[in-house]
Amino acid sequence: MRHCVSVKSICLDSVVLYTWVVPKLWNQTIEAHRAAVRDAILETTWALVAEHGLRSVTMSQIAKKTGIGRATLYKYFPDVEAILLAWHQRHVAGHLKHLAELRDQPGDARERLEAVLSAYALIQHKQRHATELAALLHRDEHVAQAQQHLTGIIRDLVKMATEAGDVRGDIVPDELASYCLCALAAASRLPSEAAVGRLVTVTLAGLRPLA
């Protein structure tokens, strides 16, 4: 009898353990799968729009190219515009993360400011969207929030560089940050990365302390 009771106890413990562990693993697997499908949808849509143009891409094309059914696609996004906005949000978040890492790296404030401005200028240079697509992507609310975040990254570095005597102190950091962003927006129209580098040099020259 003792043997039987012991076996039943072990079995019950195993069942309880199985009941608690498996749902957690199952949920993690489902979440990972959904994230992978979502990423595939975003990348496929962006590639199709880049190749064929915004108005030529349909949900059916996206589903077929991604390798999923239309019904599955609609569970993730209601239309092409929603997919593109999600792609852009992820894209912008990645850029902001990179710029924040440059801001926080070792080195004096002026060196880090130059690194951030150079990286931002290259980002602008590589963004060559069609006018229609740019209008769609930049009207979303998250763009304004991202712009505020970006301004804050540059403003913080300008303030530190000003305190160190490496940046002019007659203009407040907020205005100097806006100056940098406006000046480097021209990088999107320059023909080469070398030209972008020259633009960054000119922009930094405007930050130098007055003689």
Q: So where are the chain's domains? A: 2-76, 80-205
Which CATH code is given to the segment(s) 2-76?
1.10.10.60
What top-level class would CATH report for the domain 80-205?
mainly alpha
Least confident of 16-20, 24-28, 89-93, 201-205: 16-20
- Cα-flanking dihedrals φ and ψ of residue 18, to 5°? -60, -40
Tell me, what's the pLDDT at 129?
Answer: 53
The string of pLDDT tens digits covering residues 127-150 is 755 555 666 666 667 778 888 999
pTM of the model: 0.74
Tell me, what's the pLDDT at 37?
Answer: 92
**Contact in structure between 88 and 80 (CB atoms under 8 Å):** no
Which is it for the CA torsion 33, 38, 41, 42, positive or negative? negative
Average pLDDT value over all residues in the chain: 84
The string of pLDDT tens digits covering residues 83-138 is 998 988 898 899 999 999 999 999 999 999 999 999 999 999 987 555 556 666 66
Tell me, what's the pLDDT at 132?
Answer: 56
The string of pLDDT tens digits covering residues 153-178 is 999 999 999 999 999 999 999 999 99
